[in-house]
Structure 1
Amino acid sequence: MARAKRPSGVATPAVAELLRLGVSHSTHSYEHDPAHPSYGLEAAEALGVDPSRVFKTLVVQADGELAFGIVPVPCRLDLKALASALGAKRCEMAPPELAERRTGYVTGGISPLGQRSRLRTVLDASALEHGTIHVSGGRRGFEVELAPADLVHALTAFVSVIARD
């Protein structure tokens, strides 16, 4: 199946998907600092946003199948909770090279939206506590802000408690 072309002037495949779906969103750019130790915390600091509203997209292997776990940047992904939410026996982080190859994005810019092949996705339930959240827009230094319910709908995602401090 041929992939639809991105409309001209659209920043990334993630934004193109949101536009195609008619999802209300806003985009935010900042100058990425390669020396910053955390992509997510860098985004929160640069945009002046509470880090609990900025979510990182992590690629895992759940019983050999790739999937996304999306959690707030100050938290860690609970792999056992994610495995349970996905109905898998075991979850482990995917190697960065595999994550990049399968999503079409680079580490630190992996968006749950607009990837090459749709992966099953679980969004941490804490996202629903906010009117809007930020996720990567598909490149380092580029975030998309949208309502958590819109993200769930766009991704056909599950919502579960998968984050831990």
Structure 2
Amino acid sequence: MEGEIRLFGKLLTTAQAAADALGVDLGRIAKSVLMFAGGEPVLVVAAGDRRVDRRKVRDRLNRGKVTLAGPEEVLAVTGFVAGGVAPVGALHPVTVLLDESLRRFPDIWAGGGVPEALLRIRVDDLPRATGGVFADVVQDPAPA
């Protein structure tokens, strides 16, 4: 697999900040969102211009209620601070769901493990790199 880590002199804790720093479309920034489905950790890797749909995550996994992890839980499960979560290398095993809309791009930029770093990875490499599967787990985009 090919990839690139780029360090910046500022915090890039939002997808918009990362897109602005790189000069790319917001959709090319992947946000890694930790949730719990029925108490089990799930990392949803979603395009920056989309919102995760908890109902779709719940229906896909059929594990029960889906809740968003707090900052302390993010650190404990992934080993990364919120705002710098990488889609790869979680401290503990997690189920990974990859937003289907990421396939619009040949590669994406995601958290690089710290809020000042971004990781570029080919979208086709995401399943192998993360152990995840592509799924429809985001809200439908608003009509233009």
- Calculate the TM-score normalised by the size of structure 2: 0.90
TM superposition shift of 1:121: 0.4
> 1:88 is aligned with what amino acid?
R
Distance 1:116 1:160 in 2: 23
In the other structure, the counterpart of 1:90 is 65
- CA distance in 1 between counterparts of 2:130 and 2:60 reads 15
CA distance in 2, matches of 1:101, 1:32: 24
CA–CA distance in 2 between the matches of 1:52 and 1:65? 27
| C-alpha separation in 2, matches of 1:32 and 1:163 | 29
Would you identify which runs of 4 or more consecutive aligned residues in structure 1 move more than 6 Å?
none
Cα-Cα RMSD: 1.5
Unpaired stretches in structure 1, ≥5 consecutive residues: 1-22
Cα deviation for residue 96 of structure 1 reads 1.6
In structure 2, the partner of 1:57 is 32
Say if 1:152 and 1:158, in contact at 8 Å, map to a contact too. Answer: yes
Q: Can you give the 5+ residue segments of structure 2 that lack an aligned partner in the other structure?
A: none
* Superposition deviation, residue 105 in structure 1: 0.7
Q: Which amino acid aligns with 2:97?
A: V
Deviations 1:81-112 (A, max 9, x none): 11222232321101221111111111100112
Larger radius of gyration: 1
Which residue in 1 is equivalent to 2:16? 41
